[in-house]
Amino acid sequence: MNHHAIAIDGPAASGKSTMARALAERLGLVMVNSGAMYRAVTWKVLEEKINPTDAAAVRELVGRIRIDCGHDGTFSTISIDGVDPTPFLRSAEVNANVSAISAIPEVREKLVALQRDYLKSTHVVMEGRDIGSVVFPETPFKIYIDADPSVRNHRRSDDGEVDSVETRDAADSSRTTAPLVIADGATVLDTSKLSIEGAIKAAIDILRAQGFPMKQSETLKITGEEPDHAPMMRWIYWLGWMSFGAAYRTLFGLRIIGRENIIHNGPVLIASNHQSFLDPPLIGNLYKTEMVFFARKTLFKGIGKWLYPKWNAIPVDQDRPDMSSMKTVIRKLKEGWRVLVFPEGARTLDGEIGQAASGIGLIAAKAGVPIQPVRIFGADEALPRGSGKIRFARITVKVGRPIVLTPEELKSYSGKTGYEALTNRIMDAIKDL
Ligand SMILES: Nc1ncnc2c1ncn2[C@@H]1O[C@H](COP(=O)(O)OP(=O)(O)O)[C@@H](O)[C@H]1O
Ligand SMILES: Nc1ccn([C@@H]2O[C@H](COP(=O)(O)OP(=O)(O)O)[C@@H](O)[C@H]2O)c(=O)n1
């Protein structure tokens, strides 16, 4: 069978990875991050204390190391001599040296061969600098993503990364072997003024125009598109949604990473770590339609008795294991709602993620709906447990890829050990964010 390759090229922080990830998930292809391969070799060079400008020593190293490239069904994976270097690939040292390493022809030769190997077994969306020009020049599906340098610099520093994107761009564009160019047949997409969702929509239109067989492969439409209409909410819910959202953006510079993973349609079990009382509206603000929350029973007094039900809060007894609230979650999910559950039960004491206390695995297995892992950072500093005082700390919310269980997986996650295994899988997905 002939496999399709979508080639995404462009300068640093133009949005290549974000785009490739979204296309892989929506079109059912494997996303291959070729930059990670150049970064992995750079990491190994630095690990071995080889001078990155000593091309002969780098060539010798590349000749003797074993590089294994694979994928997990959606994303590429890499290991060098049996070690997965992923956690180290975006360090300042790797950023500073990767362009020099990737200019060495023998490094490119070895990695390009591994990149082409992917097409033997799967459809891919591959992102890098020379995918449309050198790796897959024959593919008709090519996009060159760009954005103004100032926008790109902002995006990188917003990600908290030390990276001189202009220096890297200059080196990548001026090298002799496989420089960054707009490949023949590529369509240029400038994302400077586009939202992530807008950029994805534009890319899908480009691919359709290039003849990509959309229908056959548009298998994974789990996340859907963010509605571009105003939020669909009853007015008291909307009032809370709007006021909390505005307050979070102003007071805490709220930053959301992984917007493209947000599931906009259908029932969703949202599993998040729990840092502070700020958390529920924080999560509620990710979505443009209403969702269901839990609130401790004691809050349903006075005005709370009237207000909390209007915000779709269901009372929960924090002091005792509460089977009835678990049943309510499952029922709400089956009715098609999006429901937020904090698997740890209580707020963190030290900022770390604690043990899962509630039966999130049981709920997920019984409801059988997509699970959205979410991790909150900084809310414990903005409103520490026990303090009651708001501080101006930056809050970041990271939204993870949906976990969609196959019918076989659902069957295997049954009984106490099955629920525990699923709980661990969900907690690991949160911790990985
Ligand atoms: N169209 C966009 N609008 C706003 N931010 C974007 C857009 N595309 C990507 N980003 C953000 O910019 C940062 C860099 O994107 P990334 O995909 O890592 O770029 P690249 O792979 O080209 O280096 C990420 O934080 C990402 O969320
Ligand atoms: N196909 C590719 C991909 C990356 N690279 C090199 O690897 C570096 C890191 O690539 P990357 O895609 O991870 O970089 P970002 O765009 O994410 O910053 C680039 O600056 C290039 O020097 C390359 O030469 N060819």
Q: Which long-range contacts (CB under 8 A, 24 or more apart) does 311-318 make?
A: 311/236, 311/237, 311/240, 312/237, 312/337, 313/280, 318/345, 318/346
Q: What angle do CA 121, 127, 132 make, to 5 degrees?
A: 85
The pair of three-digit structure tokens given for residue 4, joined into one six-digit string: 């399709």
Closest CA to 286 of 344, 332, 241: 241
User: Could you tell me if residue 226 is inside a domain?
Assistant: no
Pair 201, 244 in one domain: no
| Domain presence at residue 399 | yes
Q: Give me the helix-helix angle, 303-310 and 235-252, nearest 10°.
A: 90
Domain identity same for 181 and 285 = no
- Judged by DSSP in three states, 242 sits in helix
Q: Ligand 1 center to residue 258 CA distance, Å?
A: 10
Tell me if 224 is assigned to some domain: no
**Which tokens go with 191?**
């994302």
Domain encompassing residue 400: 235-431
Residue 60 lies in a domain: yes
Q: Flag whether pLDDT at 389 surpasses 70.
A: yes
Is 116 inside any structural domain? yes
| 66 compared with 406, residue with greater pLDDT | 66
**Kind and range of the H or E run holding 126:** strand 124-128
In angstroms, the CA 312 to CA 296 distance is 13
For the beta carbon of residue 49, count every other beta carbon within 10 angstroms. 6
- Residue 396 β-bridge partners: 255, 377
Confidence tier at 217 by pLDDT (50, 70, 90): very low
Given this model, what pLDDT does residue 163 score?
85
Tell me: do 302 and 385 sit in the same domain: yes
Task: Give the position, in ligand 1's atom list, of the atom nearest the Cα of 199.
Answer: 1
Choose between 382 and 412: higher pLDDT. 412
DSSP code per residue over 3-23: PPEEEEE-STTSSHHHHHHHH
Give the ligand whose atoms come closest to the C-alpha of residue 15. 1
Ligand 2 mean position to 38 CA, how many Å? 7
Cα-to-chain-centroid distance, residue 39: 19
Which tens digit of pLDDT belongs to each residue from 286-329?
998 899 998 888 889 999 999 999 999 988 877 666 778 888 88
Q: Is 13 in the pocket of ligand 2 (CB under 6 A)?
A: yes
Q: Which atom of ligand 2 is nearest to the CA of 101?
A: 22
Closest atom of ligand 1 to CA, residue 33? 21
**Residue 47 within a domain:** yes
Indicate whether 118 and 239 sit together in one domain: no
152 lines ligand 2 (CB under 6 A): no
Indicate if the pLDDT at residue 216 is higher than 50. no
Q: How far is the CA of 261 from the centre of ligand 2 (A)?
A: 23
* Per-residue pLDDT tens digits for 59-104: 999 999 999 999 988 889 999 999 999 989 999 999 999 999 999 9
Q: Which atom of ligand 2 is nearest to the CA of 14?
A: 16
Asked whether 40 lines ligand 2 (CB < 6 A), one says no
**Torsion-angle region of 343 (φ positive above 0: left; ψ -120 to 50: alpha; else: beta):** alpha
State which of 217, 249, 272 marks the end of a domain. Answer: 217
Q: How confident is the model at residue 115 (pLDDT cuts 50, 70, 90)?
A: very high
Question: Residue 276: CB within 6 Å of ligand 2?
Answer: no
Q: Which two tokens stand for residue 6?
A: 């979508």
Helix (H) or strand (E) holding 67: strand 67-71
Are both 201 and 257 inside the same structural domain? no
- The size of the chain, in residues, is 433
Q: Is 98 in the pocket of ligand 2 (CB under 6 A)?
A: yes
Question: Burial letters for 50-75: b for 16+ Cβ neighbours within 10 Å, e otherwise?
Answer: bebeebeebeebbeeeebebebeeeb
ipTM rounded to 2 decimals: 0.96
| 43 and 179 within one domain | yes
Token representation of residue 172: 């990548």
Cα–ligand 1 centroid distance for 26 (angstroms): 17
Last residue of a domain, one of 183, 217, 251: 217
- The predicted pLDDT at position 225 comes to 67
Closest-CA residue, ligand 2 atom 15, reads 12
Averaged over 12-40, what is the pLDDT?
Answer: 92
Give the C-alpha distances (Å, rounded to integers) separating 131 from 101, 108, 349.
Answer: 17, 12, 47
CB 219 within 8 A of CB 176: no
339 CB within 6 A, ligand 1: no
Binding residues for ATP: 10-18
Q: Residues comprising the binding site?
A: 10-18
Domain end call among 184, 217, 250: 217
Judge whether residue 349 has pLDDT over 80.
no
Mean pLDDT of 229-237: 82
**Do 186 and 52 share a structural domain?**
yes
Q: Helices marked H in 175-234 — which ranges?
A: 196-209, 214-217
- In the prediction, which pLDDT does 99 show? 94
Q: Is residue 408 part of a domain?
A: yes
- Mean pLDDT for 230-242 is 87
Give yes or no for residue 221 having a pLDDT over 60. no
Pull the structure tokens for residue 88: 């180290």
- 195 Cβ closer than 6 Å to some ligand 1 atom: yes
| Short-list 376, 371, 377, CA closest to 271 | 371
Q: Identify whether the C-beta of residue 261 lies closer than 8 Å to the C-beta of residue 287.
A: no
Let me know whether 388 and 264 are in one domain: yes
CATH number, domain containing residue 172: 3.40.50.300
Check whether residue 244 and residue 210 sit in a common domain. Answer: no
Q: Which pLDDT value is given to residue 31?
A: 94
| Greater pLDDT, 107 or 390 | 107
Report how far residue 81's alpha carbon sits from residue 90's, in angstroms, rounded to the nearest whole number. 19
The pLDDT assigned to 203 comes to 94
- Contacts for 223 with CB less than 8 Å, ≥ 6 apart: 22, 25, 26, 260, 261, 262, 263, 264, 402
User: Is residue 315 within 8 Å of residue 300, measured between CB atoms?
Assistant: yes
Residue 423 pLDDT > 80: yes
Distances (CA, A) of 289 to 234, 254, 260, 337, 403: 9, 19, 16, 10, 21
Per-residue exposure over 288-318, b if at least 16 CB sit within 10 Å of its own CB, e if not: bebbbbbbeeeebeeeeeeebeebbbbbbee
Both 353 and 391 in one domain: the answer is: yes
Does the beta carbon of 356 sit less than 6 angstroms from any atom of ligand 1? Answer: no
Q: Does residue 223 fall inside a structural domain?
A: no
Q: How many independent structural domains does the chain possess? A: 2
Q: Note whether 169 and 287 are same-domain residues.
A: no
Same domain? 197 vs 293 = no
Ligand 1 atom showing the smallest separation from residue 191 Cα: 1
Amino acid at 25: E
Tell me which ligand sits closest to the C-alpha of residue 158. 1
Domain containing residue 424: CATH number: 3.40.1130.10
Q: Percent of the chain at pLDDT above 70?
A: 95
